[in-house]
Amino acid sequence: MSPPRPTPPVRNRRSAKAPAAAALALPAALSIREVSTVAPTLAAAIAAGASVLDSGAVSIIDTAGLQLLLSARRTAAALGVELRLAAPSAAVKDSARSLGFAAALGLEPEPAS
C-alpha cells in the first residue's frame, strides 16, 4: 500500500487585489438623437455593476446627453455605486462646464458652500 498523497492546499479563488471596475464605452455622439438608444444600455450596465463610463470618444454632446450622464450618476449612487467618467473628451468637459454640470458629473470639485 502506498502512502497517502498530500492534499493540495486550498487556494482562495479571490484575488488579493480589488476587481477592476466594470466600464462602458460611450458612443461618439451623445445628443438628443442618441439618448433614447443609449439610455437602456447605460441603465443595464449600471444594474450590472458598471462604475466607469469611458467618455473619451464622445465628440458630440448636448444638454440631453449631459442630463443622461447626470441621471446615470444619480441612479448608480442610489445603488451605492460611484459612477465616474474616465478620460472625458474635450467636448464632454467643455459642454459640462458651460452648462454648469462639471461638478455634478465629477469633472471638477464641488464648489464650497
Tens-level pLDDT at each residue, the chain (113 residues): 555 555 444 333 333 334 455 689 999 999 999 999 999 999 999 999 889 999 999 999 999 999 999 999 999 999 998 999 999 999 999 999 999 999 999 998 766 66
pTM of the model: 0.77
Domain presence at residue 63: yes
The maximal CA–CA distance of the chain, rounded, in angstroms, is 81
> CB neighbours of 30 closer than 8 A, spacing ≥ 6?
38, 58, 60, 61, 62, 65, 68, 69
Domain presence at residue 15: no
CATH number of the CATH domain containing 93: 3.30.750
Domain ranges, residue 89: 25-99
